[in-house]
Copies of this chain bind each other. A is one copy, B any other.
Amino acid sequence: MDSTQIRAMADDIRSGNRRALARAITLVESTRQDHREQASALLEMITPDTGNSIRLGITGVPGVGKSSFIEVFGNHVIDQGSRVAVLAIDPSSSISGGSILGDKTRMENLTRRREAFIRPSPAGTTLGGVARRTRETLLLCEAAGYDLIIVETVGVGQSETMVSEMTDMFLLLLLPGGGDELQGMKRGITELADLLLVNKADGDAKKIAQNTVLDYRSATHYLPRKHKSWAPRVEACSTAEDRGILEVWEIVQEFAAALKDSGEWEQRRARQALDWMWRETAESLLVDLKRHPAIAEALPQIQAAVQRGDKSPTVAALDIVKLYRQYNSTADHSNGSTDL
């Protein structure tokens, strides 16, 4: 694509053309160097049109009913006059070949709506790579005019922290019961949550769900406060009976209003953007460094020595940086065809 085509793509995205948006996301997901440069040019063009959505992270253990919840919730939000995009982060998708949102039968009703845009998790070898693409996709969706961007993740390793870092608000879905086994606590992610939602509060489980709500209300007292202007809320809902779901959208809007009022919204966004910039910079430098042939050759030995304790990590790092600077000073490789 030349710059005229990229400009046309940016215009198409802004006007709400879904096909252009999908093509742009494929572009930001590519690791090819020329694609990276085109993606960068595109992002530069659409940046003025970004930042106006509510970015909502959603997580919960498998079986908690994330997709059903998002389907019912998303439909309510659209009925209230907003447009909804659903993105996913699944660190395991590079191994399993894509699991969350990969199944076409999921969120069938939401998929059909004109005001919804659903995108499965990008494949990627590193969590950092997956995060970068999701962040960029999020910006593209904002430029396309989506008012609520949901970033869904499965409860694997560090993906929750990552989603929390790229969103404004974090919703943790829970199952009724659990008692000693408060799943969110066990996995150490409850403290990321701004809203804890006990799902499947229907039929026989209704009473259990209410107790779970009370358990979590007292448990969240012990957790560090994430925002000055917002204390975590714990509520119950039933996706099957469609109870308490519309209320979630009200809570989300309350949250946004409270944080915008206190200035924490803007502060958080600014901090997230700067952190992201430096992480991107460090990541790009490390990627660049690792493709230096001399380093690629030396690395296995260096790493093994460090792991065995035969080489100090500082000394190893110094060696690596020296090799890198020698490489850069002897030739200009900036037009290499390998991935950035």
Contacts and interface: CB of A to CB of B under 8 A. Distances in A.
Contacts of A274: 303, 306-307, 313
B329 A325 contact: no
Interface string A265-301: 0000110011011101111111011000000000000
A139 interface: yes
A281 B320 CA distance: 7
Contacts of A313: 135, 273-274, 276-277, 280
Contacts of A188: 191, 223-224
Q: List the number of copies, as a whole number.
A: 2
B317 A280 contact: yes
B311 A47 contact: yes
Given A277-B316, A316-B277, A269 B309 contact: yes
A219 B223 CA distance: 11
A285 B321 contact: yes
Interface of A: 36, 39-40, 43-44, 47-48, 50-51, 132, 135-136, 139, 180, 182, 185-188, 191, 219, 221-224, 269-270, 273-274, 276-278, 280-286, 288-289, 302-303, 306-318, 320-322, 324-326, 328-329, 331-334, 340
A273 to B, nearest CB: 5
Given A222-B186, A309-B50, A310-B48, A329 B326 contact: no
Given A188-B191, A285-B324, A317-B284, A47 B312 contact: yes
14 contacts: A40-B318, A43-B314, A47-B309, A136-B314, A188-B191, A273-B313, A277-B303, A277-B313, A281-B289, A281-B321, A282-B282, A284-B321, A325-B333, A326-B334
Contacts of A307: 270, 273-274
A194 B269 CA distance: 35
A315 B43 contact: yes
B328 A325 contact: yes
Contacts of A47: 309-312, 315
> 8 tightest A-B contacts by CB?
A280-B317, A328-B328, A185-B222, A277-B313, A276-B313, A329-B332, A270-B307, A282-B282
Contacts of A309: 47, 50-51, 269-270, 273
Contacts of A182: 222
Contacts of A44: 311-312, 315
